[in-house]
Amino acid sequence: MTNEVPISYSRSFQTHLILPPDTNHHNSIFGGKVLAYIDEIAAITSMKHAKSEVVTASFDSVDFISPAYVGNILELEAMVTSTGRSSMEVYVRVMARNLKTGELRLTTESFVTMVAVDESGRPVQVPKVYPETERERQLFETGSTRRELRQAKRLNTKERRRLLENLE
């Protein structure tokens, strides 16, 4: 396994047309539909990076910034921005393109943690990443802060579970 690969190595893109069954009563796409697209592209990107099966460990953040409507084209881009031993942080950006006006808007940004696993579901080591562009460098350099936040959240979640189990 190569020890280090560029962030661009596993960058992935998806395009989806928003159809009426994908939308709510405002004719904007269901948030859950967008989450499913994010999970799928995060999995594809991390599988390309790890060259193995993966599981979703967490949706670390999802920011719905603006709506996307029936007839818009969703353009998703994902990249592995930082890695641990077996974990990968995947940044996903979702843009909505209005084909009539040409307008392109940011609709959603998300960070997802994926874990590479073998056939038995045990974690396996993944290559490190390095940035090549300024955008990649910014995402890469801020990865350690996001990792600390994830670790603090995990500790908080464990403590909450422990407290709640004692109440039952």
Residue ranges of domains in the chain, CATH in brackets: 4-167 (3.10.129.10)
What is d(CA 43, CA 135) in angstroms, rounded to the nearest whole number? 21
> Which residue has better confidence, 161 or 33?
33
Mean pLDDT over each residue of the chain, to the nearest integer: 94
Residue 85 dihedral angles phi and psi, to the nearest 5°: -70, -50
pTM: predicted TM-score of the whole model, two decimal places: 0.90
**How sure is the predictor about 2, in pLDDT bands with cuts at 50, 70 and 90?**
low
Check residue 154 and give its pLDDT. 83
Inter-residue contact 79 to 8 (CB < 8 Å) = yes
- The separation between CA 143 and the C-alpha centre of its own chain, rounded to angstroms, equals 13
Residue 21 has a pLDDT of: 97
Note the pLDDT tens digit of each residue in 94-113. 999 999 999 999 999 999 99
**With contact defined as beta carbons under 8 Å apart, do 128 and 85 qualify?**
no
Q: Residue-wise over 76-88: b if at least 16 C-beta within 10 A, else e?
A: bebbbbbbbebbb
